[in-house]
Structure 1
């Protein structure tokens, strides 16, 4: 039997988000408690079996590729969710669940094409539901609408949308996510537990940084988690030579092809992201402006600012549609 962590998952059967992103090293892996090890592996295998019930259908990605669904609108919605997560310091799982609820809803029910406010309303409702599932302190529905929200909705409007989301999702909010697996996969990759804290923390950041990309909708949570752990391992010299093909052996039910494909996509996006974040050297120029010219520019700038259109938030209330039940018919 392969070596597993017997002490790193105390409440795995009850909460798949235990121990996520704590930044602390997990206990070293041990093979002493065989019964516990078997139970953990069976639980992970159960998550792999059930994960297909908590993702959109196989043709969901195709709808974005054919522009039946607006990929840019989804990116904006996910970006807003991540901003609010950072603003309130929500758990990573909260933001991931928000996006998961949104994608599952969009697969089954179309939004009316109405200048973008339905996307905002859906984002607020999904984030509110996820926060109620995972957070100990949840802001009010009005306070949740921060960080550049384009529209502001009344509480009763959001609650009606929450009920619609719950109905479409059949009230299945405790979803299987990549965070259901990363502790276990990190232990498989690092049985001594030496780099567990870093692997979990870095993999979590990689998952969230790529959540806006519609391309990852092709992969199930277990494949995303395995690919993220492998990408995190690349940053550790002792683990950088790990062969992605070996990830299939971590647990029954994993797909080697899907893990490798997801890993390559993730590597490319992580590399591109690191290149974008590299500091640019800007040449320093000495600019001398005469006092008269400066005052003239200041007055001109002030006049232009006062006449420019200001950004106004629109307050949309009592907007909610009654969609058909045709399950995402185009």
Structure 2
């Protein structure tokens, strides 16, 4: 059809052949083949030239439309590959959203303002499910085990837990506490059942005790309020202490020190896409100085 369009545009077989870089006989053969396939005459001779029949004009018009669509598709693909357009679906857990994802997206959008972002929280039961199923491009997760098949984990930062005590507590003047020193204290819970709470419980088990929960704060801000009110002590990750309550004191712990390891989870099949790589780089650029400025 593109050969027929060239003949119609140039007014002769020889002129079309020159424009296309074909021989005149090759052009004639392709037009003849198209006439057999369509079962109708597409060109008629007039003197030394040719002119299109009604059917020829119709197909030449469609060929022009196809050319435009191919060009538009090529331009759209180039824009997508260059990051001028497109969409990234990003999932994250709550504390990572405010402390890590938000500033990283600000960095990313300065370079890729045309990329639309679909943001949302990870599934609390299985934070990798949307990445594995192809419904999310990237998820910020915390985990210690190996990546499941088909998922690549890129380390972002370690998020250590800190002891949070009421101001005026007998241990509040210490910079570092042995976790076992909190064994007899009432505790304020800060997390729902799940991997984060399990991490705290496992650390306490390793220190030789199971914390006696006096009140469940359900989230980090509320938990700090309960600690400040003197209802107990707590262990909170550093990312959960970005908004620190004025009525608490924060200390490092050891023996052991619980640590959440934060990763960007990406499907292996999507790894290498420039825009996705730029988002991972932005996350790492934000996480690096945050790790260097840990609370002590």
Specify the TM-score bucket, using the shorter chain as the normaliser. under 0.3
**What TM-score, normalized by structure 2, do the two folds share?**
0.26
- Max radius of gyration: which structure? 2
Q: Which has the higher strand share?
A: 2
TM-score by length of 1: 0.24
Relative contact order higher in (CA < 8 Å, ≥ 6 apart): 1
